[in-house]
Amino acid sequence: MTASSSLLPSLRTPRAVAGFTLTELAVVVLIVGLLLGGLLVTLEAQNIARTTAETRQILQNAHDAVIGFAVSNGRLPCPATAASNGLEAPVTPPAPPAANPCAISKGFLPAATLGLGPTDAQGYLLDSWGRRVLYAVTKTDADAFTTAGKMREKAFNVSTATMLRICASAGVSAAATLTSCPSGFTIETPAVIFSTGRNGTSTNACIPTVASQDELENIDGLCTNDVSDRVFVAHDLTTADATTIGAFDDIVIWVSPNVLFHRMISAGAL
């Protein structure tokens, strides 16, 4: 009688126990590392975009507060100095129609005067990187924009010869003078509000460390009464590998004189 085939010993070779070789493990680790690296880069980019958007909103709120102050007081606020605890720093108390020069023309936004936040312990407005927001104002027409009552005189006859100027293109600082931008790139304004951006390395010093000539153009003369350089630069982000321009991530907004006059006229303040 023939034995049932089911009772015969199996002639097939047993299957080897599954496992990973060192090469396979290395490939898995590499893939996981690439996935995690891509995720971290994405999260970092999202965080930078979020922080930049938050800073733009802080600056926009400051812009609106500066115009609101002008509507209420008939003049723009002076910059705060490094020692004024977030308060504007005029040379003398405002008293129209006498000229009222500011102690400095380029310094910190006077957040304590404007009632803005978030601030540091000394009352200076901070951007989303924890650095003080900066502010500059024109001294045109014998301080007309910072003297109560004088802006009314100059509203329709403002000399643009000494207004602040925005160079709105990358790399223009190399061709800019102390008072003008290259032809075709100029925006004239009575006041500028700005942040030194993510690459700014100083929280509250009057001389922050900057990454390029374009960034230096925005902070030269900061916290001094040197009004010779009235030029600022505002353009899209550039990185350090932009060899002829350098890294630039300042966030710069400005007060349009036409918007300022319109708001003041609408409120009966001009």
Q: What is the pLDDT of residue 23?
A: 76
Q: What is the residue type of 191?
A: A
Residue 94 has pLDDT above 80, yes or no: no
Alpha carbons 227 and 139: distance in angstroms, whole number: 8
Q: What is the pLDDT of residue 141?
A: 78
Q: Average the pLDDT over 248-261 and give the result.
A: 91
Q: What is the pLDDT of residue 60?
A: 96
- 228-261 burial, b at 16+ Cβ within 10 Å, e below that, comes to ebbbbbbbeebeeeeeebbbbbbbbbbbbbeebb
Indicate the domain borders of the chain.
24-266
Alpha carbons 56 and 127: distance in angstroms, whole number: 9
Residue 2 has pLDDT above 60, yes or no: no
Share above pLDDT 90 across residues of the chain, in percent, rounded to a whole number: 29
| Residue with more model confidence, 6 or 50 | 50
Q: Average the pLDDT over 158-178 and give the result.
A: 78
**Residue holding tokens 């991530």?**
249
Alpha carbons 103 and 98: distance in angstroms, whole number: 15
pLDDT digits (tens, 9 = 90+) for 59-86: 999 999 999 999 998 889 999 999 999 9
Averaged pLDDT of the chain? 81
pLDDT digits (tens, 9 = 90+) for 33-61: 666 666 665 777 778 888 889 999 999 99
pLDDT digits (tens, 9 = 90+) for 107-127: 999 999 999 988 999 999 999
| Helix H or strand E segment including 164 | strand 164-167
CB 55 within 8 A of CB 104: no
Alpha carbons 138 and 136: distance in angstroms, whole number: 7
E strand intervals along 104-207: 106-108, 134-137, 164-167, 186-189, 191-195
Q: What is the pLDDT of residue 110?
A: 95
Q: Average the pLDDT over 173-190 and give the result.
A: 80
Pairing between β-strand 231-233 and β-strand 164-167 as defined by DSSP bridges: parallel
> Of the candidates 100, 134, 113, 101, which has an alpha carbon nearest to the alpha carbon of residue 204?
134
Residue 18 has pLDDT above 60, yes or no: no
- Band (93; pLDDT cuts 50, 70, 90): low
Q: Average the pLDDT over 137-149 and give the result.
A: 84
